[in-house]
Structure 1
């Protein structure tokens, strides 16, 4: 029997609820081939996704934000990504069971992501048979994105819960910083898109989920 440890649960999207790395890898390799460059392994992309398209363009294509080709390259990458948005993307192990458990005990859950609304909405539409968040907060909805607490506070306000009764789960230090600053409990998703050899314990999250299925015990007991 599940029991409610929190009055609301908020998730980051990429690297926490969904494994989007395969489709980011496809998009990146399409653009690399277009520019006569060598394809890369998915594992490399997994370490960059938390920084979005900007991180991929900067690290993989070695084009910094002040470079004249930066915006074009970034848009080309996003154009490819939009074509393969949900081809291989899938929930992490145990996530469907977790969300169904929350629904059974009437604990509202939502998504707070730095992913632009246009891509977030498209993904959620494809997964509407398993993903039915009560609130979705994207950069489009706030003045300040994570690590600022504003997105978390907005989600809590919309759900009618206090941050202290809420938990936020994410796979980047900015997620933990945002949740902590908002006054929520936090869980670091170590199974997500963390950099190699990163010491997640230094994020000072309340809990660490080494595997995605660990969330079942941490959230539902």
Structure 2
């Protein structure tokens, strides 16, 4: 890492990085499957696909060859239920609340860039009392393109009033790391997130691999010791 790197803003993916939304998303999926006469799925089987959206969760649950109209109906039921139960079980990953406090105490900005749609992102951030604390909130439909395109990352910088070269982006999927790199940001791969079987985050090109949120302040501290 260049010794002249100046960190101004820490950007997070939402699901699987900043907060653990899996319990609410999987509960909504199983509610939808039951409503359409299908068997529930085990959380551990679906959790790795959360970072790829509700459609991916449904496909993994019922099989990609299932009637597309049925898949669409299940997805609608799932998302409607999720919107009405946005933060019933969602919590910060262990250590993340303290990590945010440390970031703020250092005078750094932080924000969220997610592929989650605004209809879910905004009420979730509000329910967690994070809206006023975040310097930027960019959803999957905030810009014309979503991750891995750099446009959402650049929009986050515009909202936060920072330059991409002064940011680090933390995410748990290959498209997160690609998005950060495409915007010329530093990147950290969150190994504690929703990794899929066969994922090889060590090959994604991130600047570091983070096994837990507690390692984020350590990485930030290392910048001042160079």
Q: How far 1:79 sits from its partner (Å)?
A: 1.2
1:184-195 matches, cutoff 5 A? 184-195=185-196
Q: Which residue of 2 aligns with 1:156?
A: 157
Counterpart Cα distance in 1 of 2:176 and 2:39: 32
Q: Which residue of 1 aligns with 2:204?
A: 203
Q: How far 1:66 sits from its partner (Å)?
A: 7.7
Q: How far 1:145 sits from its partner (Å)?
A: 0.3
Q: Deviations over 1:6-63 (max 9, x none)?
A: 1111000000000000111111111222233222221122111011111012111225
Q: Which residue of 1 aligns with 2:56?
A: 55
Change in Cα spacing, 1:65 to 1:204, as seen in structure 2 (3 Å) is farther
**Does the 8 A contact of 2:33 with 2:74 survive in 1?**
no
**Does the 8 A contact of 2:36 with 2:74 survive in 1?**
no
Gaps of 5+ in 1: none
Q: How far 1:142 sits from its partner (Å)?
A: 0.5
1:118-129 matches, cutoff 5 A? 118-128=119-129
Counterpart Cα distance in 2 of 1:36 and 1:71: 15
Q: Which residue of 2 aligns with 1:183?
A: 184
Normalised by the length of structure 1, the TM-score is 0.92
Q: Which residue of 1 aligns with 2:32?
A: 31
Does 172-181 or 194-203 show the bigger shift? 194-203
Question: What RMSD, in angstroms, separates the aligned Cα atoms of the two structures?
Answer: 2.0
Q: How far 1:65 sits from its partner (Å)?
A: 9.4
Asked which structure has the greater RCO (Cα within 8 Å, sep 6+), the reply is 1
Counterpart Cα distance in 1 of 2:104 and 2:19: 18
Q: Which residue of 2 aligns with 1:99?
A: 100
1:162-177 matches, cutoff 5 A? 162-177=163-178
Counterpart Cα distance in 2 of 1:66 and 1:153: 38
Gaps of 5+ in 2: none
Change in Cα spacing, 1:80 to 1:63, as seen in structure 2 (3 Å) is farther
Counterpart Cα distance in 2 of 1:63 and 1:199: 24
Q: Deviations over 1:115-169 (max 9, x none)?
A: 0011111111111169721100112220110000111111112222221111000
Normalised by the length of structure 2, the TM-score is 0.90
